[in-house]
Amino acid sequence: MPNEKNHQFILYHKPVGVTSFQALSPLKRTWGKKLGHTGTLDQFAHGLLGVLTGNLTKLVPLLTGLDKIYEAVVEFGRQTDTLDPEGAVICQGRVPVLEELQESLTKFHGELWQIPPEYSAVHVNGKRASQLARAGASVDLEARKIEIFDLKLLDWNPPFAKIRVHCSKGTYIRAIARDWAISMGTCGMLTSLFRQQVGPFQCPEHQEILSPRQLFQSLNIPVYTTEQPEQARFGRPPSLWGSWAPVPQLALMDTDDNLVAVLKWDGDWQYHFVCA
């Protein structure tokens, strides 16, 4: 029987000053090398990393699609090449006034097209944009559709604006800082970034561990237990195993509470595998 502790979801507060990969090192000593996480954080940033262990790593594609909530501090009148405190200053400009901030902020709601920062993990011709930028190569990134569900100005202490952003996956807060400043005819960058929440999961003060069932409960995904897990692993549809009431998604687990698959309702008593 698999060791239960090897199949968990860990809510981990990544500290400032380490990469997401480096932050996983102490966890690997406890949970083993088979870890997955739900979205990287820049070295200067801190906040929630959702870490999956054991056979739960197959849920990475499901959890990376969750929306996120950040608190960030934007500095106006100065910009680095990386759009954060770790880069070299490439632009200086004026500091806007409060009325400008409030008026321009209304433009950053709903569906938007955003160009990722040059120093980012986006792949261009098989290489990360940040690798190309550090090598001095020209980086041409395409705009991507994102969604800003909510953006609030929490505090204004010129030249620093503290904001709270609720956004879709794939949103770069550094790019929001850049574009917000550009909309007012100046330049800007992030000085700090805190990821408060990923989907329903909030950043803990200390490490928290959720069992697979607790994870699915938080995601409002019902769990079904099967005594024939191999049928799912070989792709047989659950409609062959009994008459279940249709739900948008369901998690299938074996009698030892090991994840077998996550499936999505297709209609007509048919499900397809989100992961298996």
The residues annotated as belonging to the active site are 42
Whole-angstrom distance, CA of residue 96 vs CA of residue 233: 58
DSSP tally for the chain: helices H, then strands E: 8, 18
Q: Are 10 and 209 in contact (CB under 8 A)?
A: yes
- Closest to 212 measured CA to CA, from 202, 201, 223, 204: 223
Cβ neighbours for 103, distance < 8 A, ≥ 6 positions apart: none
Nearest partner of 161 among 136, 184, 131, 129, judged by Cα: 184
What tokens does 128 get?
Answer: 């990360």
Tokens of 130: 């940040």
Residue holding tokens 């929440």? 197
